[in-house]
Amino acid sequence: MKPAAFAYLAPRDLDEALDQLAEHGADARVLAGGQSLVRLMNARLASPAVVVDINRVAGLDALERHNGTLRLGATVRQRTSELSPDVAAHAPLLAEAGAHVAHAPVRSRGTVVGSVAFADPSAELPTALLALDGRVVVRSRSGERTVEADDFFTGPFTTSLAPGEMVVAVEVPVTTAGTGTAFVEVARRHGDLPVCGVAATVTRGDDGRVGATRIALCGAGERPVRARAAEDALTGSDGGTDAVAEAAARASEGLSPIADCHGSADFRRHLARVLTGRALRTAIDRAAGEANDV
């Protein structure tokens, strides 16, 4: 099928893009990599009157590190992030999760920010952003605001973005020495959206016990969700086999997974438990062995 008729705008700078988004409000959609939006438009599941293509906007393709924060601009491709030495060294969870997204040709066009803005509850990158305590930088003609990832995702394919706003970047604190991260998932085929996936970050305290822990799941609810009961169970423990098993057992507490042709809600709860155990074991091992420079 072909999309419904729409006006195509290709701003050259951010002010021009923000003016166009302000003018057209809820009738406009941002086009980044187009890997989800164009499919939706072709299927007539989305029919924006105006498409604002941000690919020519200068400066949005920057991937930078400043003062302990890694910032990925709105047109940084998923493949660029996956292969970036900076991301590998300072936010390895983003690279690990990103490698599970689709296949290389899709990742070569698709953007990290586009995946976050699309807010598919099964997607890997929003889940990694949540586990990394990331932030979403939002701009409109009236200014800039920064939204915690936890507050950005509001439901399936919905976010706290208002008409006239766009995401200009996502930011994550760099992963410091003594912190280990891991992403694991189960998908029917490599490159498919996961039935369930888990992103974990674990920091070892000076006393050798587990300090800060963040666990986020995809495919386990209507948005990427934190497994807070599991985080609480692991934090302060010795990080040994029993502690991980106890945390994993609590990973599905409070979850309301969807049920579809890829898996029942019970199967997804089972995966949440098993994958949380795997992700935590790997993250704990990495916390003990890895040193990530800030």
Ligand X SMILES: Cc1cc2nc3c(=O)[nH]c(=O)nc-3n(C[C@H](O)[C@H](O)[C@H](O)COP(=O)(O)OP(=O)(O)OC[C@H]3O[C@@H](n4cnc5c(N)ncnc54)[C@H](O)[C@@H]3O)c2cc1C
Is the CB of residue 283 less than 8 Å from the CB of residue 192? no
Question: By CB under 6 A, how many residues form the interface with ligand X?
Answer: 31
How far is CA 119 from each of CA 155, 161, 178, rounded to the nearest angstrom? 8, 11, 30
Closer residue to ligand X (CB): 104 or 212: 104
User: What residues between 99 and 138 interact with ligand X by CB under 6 A?
Assistant: 101-102, 106, 110-111, 113-115, 117-118, 120, 123-125
| Shortest Å distance, C-beta 240 to ligand X | 33
**Minimum distance, C-beta of residue 158 to ligand X, in the bound complex (Å):** 10
Residue 80 vs 111, nearer CB to ligand X: 111
Residues 6+ away with beta carbon under 8 Å from 240: none
**Which CB, 196 or 247, lies closer to ligand X?**
196
Quick one: residue 111, left, alpha or beta (phi over 0 = left, psi -120 to 50 = alpha)?
Answer: beta
Closer by beta carbon to ligand X, 137 or else 283: 137
Task: Between 91 and 233, name the residue whose CB sits nearer to ligand X.
Answer: 91
What is the x/- site pattern for ligand X, positions 13-52, by CB under 6 A? ----------------xxxxxxxxx-x-------------
The H-assigned helical ranges of the chain are 14-24, 37-42, 78-83, 85-90, 92-98, 104-109, 112-118, 124-131, 149-152, 228-234, 241-249, 265-289
Structure tokens at 57: 């906007």
Q: Site residues for ligand X, window 211-250 (CB under 6 A)?
A: none
Q: Tell me which residues in 158-177 interact with ligand X (CB under 6 A).
A: 161, 166-167
Quick check: 193 binds ligand X (CB under 6 A)? yes
Site for ligand X contains 201 (CB under 6 A)? no
Touching ligand X, residues 141-160 (CB under 6 A): none
**Apex CA 262: angle with CA 233 and CA 98, to 5°?**
65
Closest CB to ligand X among residues 233, 271: 271
d(CA 29, CA 252): 35
Q: How far apart, in whole angstroms, are the C-alpha atoms of residue 144 and residue 139?
A: 4
Rounded Cα distance between 174 and 69, Å, is 5
State the residues that interact with ligand X by CB under 6 A. Answer: 29-37, 39, 74, 101-102, 106, 110-111, 113-115, 117-118, 120, 123-125, 161, 166-167, 191-193
